């Protein structure tokens, strides 16, 4: 039995299979999941698990070189924006319109759905290379 890091077997496998520049999405309860993209549903109840809780767990187990968020987060979810700016300080943070964001999710290896019920609490994480 695995005793540290991501215990969810589906997430653990997705992270282990990522190559450089591959992406995953961490999504709120409302983000549409594109056909053909694996959905890992963690949502238990509204708010649980939270966006930040899920991002923290994934970020501790994944080498991340870039993140992408919807520019609407600036006006509609400043709490999530501040969290991302602090969490990924020193990492490239790109913004795009939400409609473009949804198009980018079609290329993701997986979408991890949280219970977060606040607008635009979504992020694309792009894998970097870890040489230890």
61-87 tens-digit pLDDT: 999 999 999 999 999 999 999 999 999
What's the pLDDT at 58?
98
Phi, psi of 48 (to 5 degrees): -130, 125
20 belongs to the catalytic site: yes
Phi, psi of 68 (to 5 degrees): -130, 135
Asked if residue 120 belongs to a known ligand binding site, the reply is yes
Asked if residue 82 belongs to a known ligand binding site, the reply is no
Domain boundaries, the chain: 21-127
Asked if residue 122 belongs to a known ligand binding site, the reply is yes
- Choosing from 5, 9, 13, 20, which is the catalytic residue? 20
CB 69 within 8 A of CB 123: yes
pTM of the shown model: 0.96
Return the CATH number of 21-127, one of 3.40.1650.10, 3.40.630.30, 3.30.710.10, 1.10.10.10. Answer: 3.40.1650.10
Q: Give the integer Cα–Cα distance in Å for 70 and 94.
A: 8
What's the pLDDT at 76?
98
Tokens of 108: 């993701």
What's the pLDDT at 131?
84
Element (H, E) at 23: strand 23-27
């Amino acid at each position: 039995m695995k005793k540290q890091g991501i215990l969810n077997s589906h997430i653990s496998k997705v992270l282990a299979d990522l190559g450089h520049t591959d992406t995953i999405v961490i999504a709120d309860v409302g983000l549409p999941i594109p056909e053909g993209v694996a959905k890992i549903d963690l949502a238990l109840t509204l708010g649980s698990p939270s966006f930040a809780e899920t991002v923290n767990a994934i970020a501790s187990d994944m080498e991340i070189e870039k993140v992408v968020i919807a520019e609407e987060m600036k006006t509609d979810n400043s709490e999530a924006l501040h969290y991302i700016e602090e969490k990924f300080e020193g990492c490239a943070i790109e913004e795009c319109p939400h409609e473009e964001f949804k198009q980018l999710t079609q290329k993701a290896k997986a979408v991890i759905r949280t219970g977060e019920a606040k607008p635009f609490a979504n992020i694309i994480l792009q894998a970097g290379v870890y040489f230890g």
